[in-house]
Amino acid sequence: GESVGLHLPTLSVQEGDNSIINCAYSNSASDYFIWYKQESGKGPQFIIDIRSNMDKRQGQRVTVLLNKTVKHLSLQIAATQPGDSAVYFCAESAVGNEKLTFGTGTRLTIIP
């Protein structure tokens, strides 16, 4: 599959460990945030989202944390598996903006 970003930040994690992927945003008006996963050769896939009236939201093996004070978003993946290897990126939108803004992504590599 094609590479989506040779200069992406990378994170290597041992299989079975927890992963934390971070995302910073700059717009204080941002009120909706989404994490996407993109495997090699595929389109981005929705993982989890959170609105600005929440600090934390949990899904299956994933948790998103939102810190509005420092404009920081994180994705935690519990007990990482080989299938978690992918590029992860956040997207955000603000009230009055008709578009999502995507980050450039972090490449997560799982070490067997």
Q: How far is it, in rounded angstroms, from Cα 14 to Cα 12?
A: 7
- Among 15, 35, 39, 4, smallest CA distance to 111 is for 15
- Residues of span 24-83 touching another protein by CB under 8 A: 32, 34, 36, 41-46, 49
Query: Smaller CB distance to another protein: residue 6 or 70?
Result: 6
Contact status, residue 80 vs residue 21, Cβ threshold 8 Å: no
Least distance to another protein, CB of residue 57, Å = 13
105 interacts with another protein by CB under 8 A: yes
Residue 4 found at the interface with another protein (CB under 8 A): yes
Please provide the distance, in angstroms rounded to a whole number, between the alpha carbons at the two ends of the chain: 21
Question: What is the CB-side half-sphere exposure of residue 62 using CA atoms within 13 A?
Answer: 17
Any contact of residue 5 with another protein (CB under 8 A)?
Answer: yes
- Can you give the binding site for another protein, defined by CB under 8 A? 2-7, 32, 34, 36, 41-46, 49, 89, 91, 93, 97-100, 102-105
